[in-house]
Amino acid sequence: MADRPPPPIVVFDLDGTLVDTAPDLIHALNAILGAESIPAIPFETARPMIGAGVRPLLEQALAERGQFPGEAAMDALFARYIQRYQDHIADQSRPYPGLVGALDRLGAHGFTLAVCTNKYEGLSLRLLDALGLTSRFAAICGQDTFPMKKPDPESLRLTIARAGGDATRAVMVGDSETDVSVARAAGIPVIGVDFGYTRIPMADLLPDRLIGHFDALPQAVLELVQVARPTVTDGRN
C-alpha cells in the first residue's frame, strides 16, 4: 500500500490574526511604563506596534516617550514585562469572531493547522491553552522554536514540516507585512486579514486573498490550494 501523502496545511500567525491580544499586551506595557513613572501609551498608538514580538513592542513604546535605556536596563524591563504579561495573558484576549467555525470547516476539508508566530513559543502555548485552542494545531512554533524567525522563510518551512503538512499545498494567514513577506519568500500563497495590527493597510501589501472575517477563510483557502475531492462511485467495482 502506498504511503498516504501529507495533508494540505494552513499556517496562522497568532497576535492580530487568530487572537485579539492587544488589550492584554498593551495593559502589561502600560503597567511596566507606569512603574517607571513613564506616561502610558494610548491604546490606538500602541496597537500598530504589536506584531514583531514583545521586545520590539517595548522598545517602540519607550522610544515614543523619548526613553532609550541601555541594554542591561532594557533586559530588566523586558523580563518584568514578560512576567506581568504571562500572569494576565488571557484576561481580555479573545479569538476573533468566526475563528472556531472556520477551523472546523478547514478540518472537515482535510487541512492540518499550525501556528508560526514571533511570539515566544511558551507564551503562545500559554495563551492558546487558556483559550482552549491548543489541540486545534499540529504545531505551534514561536520566535524561539527555531534558530530563525519570521520573515525568514525557513521558519515557515520548518513549521510546516513539524506539523507534517504538505508544503506544496500550504497557505499562510496573517495580519502584517512580516506574514506576507515570509510567505512570499517561502513561495507559499498568503491570505491577509484586515483586522490585525499592521501599520500598513493589508490591502496595500497585496496578499493573494484579503478577508475581513473568518467566515470567508475556508473559501479563500480552497481557492488557493488544490484539495483532493472524495471519489463518488455507483457501487460497482
The confidence score (pLDDT) of residue 232 equals 36
Confidence check: pLDDT of 235 > 80: no
Query: Where is the domain boundary, 66, 87, 108?
Result: 87
In this predicted structure, the answer to whether residue 39 has a pLDDT above a threshold of 60 is: yes
CA dist., res. 34 & res. 40, Å (int): 7
Strand, coil or helix: 74: helix
Instruction: Tell me the CA distances in angstroms from 53 to 36, 93, 118, 193, 226, one per residue in order.
Output: 21, 16, 5, 18, 33
Q: 90-125 as b/e, with b when 16 or more CB fall inside 10 Å?
A: beebebbeebeebbebbeebebbbbbbbbbbbebbb
Last residue of a domain, which of 87, 108, 142?
A: 87
Residues 139 and 200 in one domain: yes
The reported pLDDT for the residue numbered 231 is: 36
Instruction: Say yes or no: 41 and 152 in one domain.
Output: no
Residue 101 lies in a domain: yes
Q: Evaluate if residue 181 carries a pLDDT over 60.
A: yes
- 175 and 63 in one domain? no
Tell me phi and psi for residue 20, to 5 degrees: -85, 95
Q: Which domain covers residue 206, as residue numbers?
A: 9-20+94-224
**107 and 138, same structural domain?**
yes
Same domain, 128 and 163: yes
Query: Average pLDDT, whole number, for the chain?
Result: 93
> CA-CA distance, 30 to 63, in Å (whole number)?
14
Digit-coded pLDDT (tens) for 2-11: 578 999 999 9
Q: Are residues 56 and 111 in the same domain?
A: no
pTM: 0.91
Specify whether 111 is located in the same domain as 62.
no
Among the listed residues 13, 15, 175, 179, the single catalytic one is: 13
Across 200-229, average pLDDT: 92
Lowest mean pLDDT among 101-110, 113-122, 142-151, 220-229: 220-229
Give yes or no for residue 230 having a pLDDT over 80.
no
Q: Report the number of distinct structural domains present in the chain.
A: 2
Residue 204 has pLDDT above 60, yes or no: yes
Q: Each residue of 116-126: pLDDT tens digit?
A: 999 999 999 99
The reply to whether 4 falls in a domain is: no
Residue where a domain terminates, one of 59, 87, 115: 87
Residue 232 lies in a domain: no
The answer to whether residue 13 is catalytic is yes
Residue 227's pLDDT is what?
Answer: 65
CATH number of the domain to which 13 belongs? 3.40.50.1000
